[in-house]
């Protein structure tokens, strides 16, 4: 995965996280930082990261999954890639693709509410392969659209 794609994915994750934890009326990460992100990605990401961590006390399971995703991308980023060299256009494609993917991402708690099951039952069904889910770290995540469709077909 190239540097532009990594930075695009990081921005999308940061934006989803900001939408979940920022108070109503506060600008999202993209609204506040998009214009300078492409020109100074490392410096801008550092600022975004610091701002998001101020909200760490509000983080629940879903937000921790997003932080795990940050960690995975950063761990796969070579130190020489984490610079302020301007980004190419590919970062926008990666941002929008990741944003779309994450906008439907839900955890066990929300899936349990949709399906009318207990969170423990949902976890068991995920582990057994009975629900379409992916485990990130210790957390199961699912596509909300797929879970909603399953509920409709019951």
Whether 63 and 125 map to the same domain: the answer is: no
Residues 60 and 120 in one domain: no
d(CA 144, CA 107): 9
Looking at residue 77, the DSSP 8-state letter turns out to be S
Copy the structure tokens of residue 16: 């989803």
My answer on whether 91 and 43 are in the same domain is yes
Same domain, 58 and 85: yes
Query: Which residues on neighbouring strands pair with residue 11, listed in sequence order?
Result: none
Q: Which of 99, 128, 143 is the last residue of a domain?
A: 99
Q: What is the pLDDT of residue 107?
A: 86
Q: Are residues 47 and 118 in the same domain?
A: no
Residues 48 and 120 in one domain: no
Mean pLDDT by 10 residues, the chain (154 residues): 95 93 91 94 96 92 85 93 96 93 86 94 95 85 89 76
**Within this chain, do residues 43 and 67 fall inside the same structural domain, yes or no?**
yes
Tokens representing 137? 């770290």
Q: How far apart are CA 66 and CA 72, in angstroms?
A: 10
**Within this chain, do residues 72 and 140 fall inside the same structural domain, yes or no?**
no
In terms of domains, do 27 and 72 share one?
yes
Beta partners for 57?
none
| Residue 53: per-residue pLDDT | 93
Backbone φ and ψ for 32, nearest 5 degrees, come out as -85, -35
Query: 139 is in which domain, residue-wise?
Result: 105-153
Choosing from 83, 99, 115, the residue where a domain stops is 99
* Number of separate domains in the chain: 2
Backbone φ and ψ for 120, nearest 5 degrees, come out as -65, -40
Looking at the chain, which runs of residues are DSSP E strands? 105-107, 133-136, 139-143
* Token pair belonging to 98: 């990741």
Residue 56 CB: number of other CB atoms within 10 A?
Answer: 11
Distances 51 to 22, 38, 81 between C-alpha atoms, Å: 10, 18, 22
The pTM (predicted TM-score) of the whole model is 0.78
Shared domain for 33 and 81, answered yes or no, is: yes
> Is residue 19 located within the same domain as residue 75?
yes
pLDDT of residue 139: 82
């Amino acid at each position: 995965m190239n540097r532009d794609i990594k930075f695009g994915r990081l921005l999308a994750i940061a934006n989803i996280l900001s939408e979940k934890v920022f108070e109503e009326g506060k600008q999202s990460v993209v609204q506040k930082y998009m214009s300078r992100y492409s020109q100074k990605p490392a410096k801008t990401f550092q600022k975004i990261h610091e701002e998001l961590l101020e909200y760490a006390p509000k983080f629940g399971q879903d937000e921790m999954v997003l932080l795990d995703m940050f960690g995975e991308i950063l761990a796969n980023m070579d130190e020489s890639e984490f610079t302020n060299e301007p980004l190419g256009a590919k970062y926008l494609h990666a941002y929008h693709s990741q944003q779309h993917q994450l906008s439907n991402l839900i955890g066990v708690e929300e899936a349990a509410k949709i399906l009318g099951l207990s969170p423990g039952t949902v976890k068991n069904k995920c582990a057994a392969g009975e629900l379409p889910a992916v485990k990130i770290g210790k957390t199961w995540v699912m596509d909300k659209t797929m879970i909603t469709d399953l509920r409709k077909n019951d």
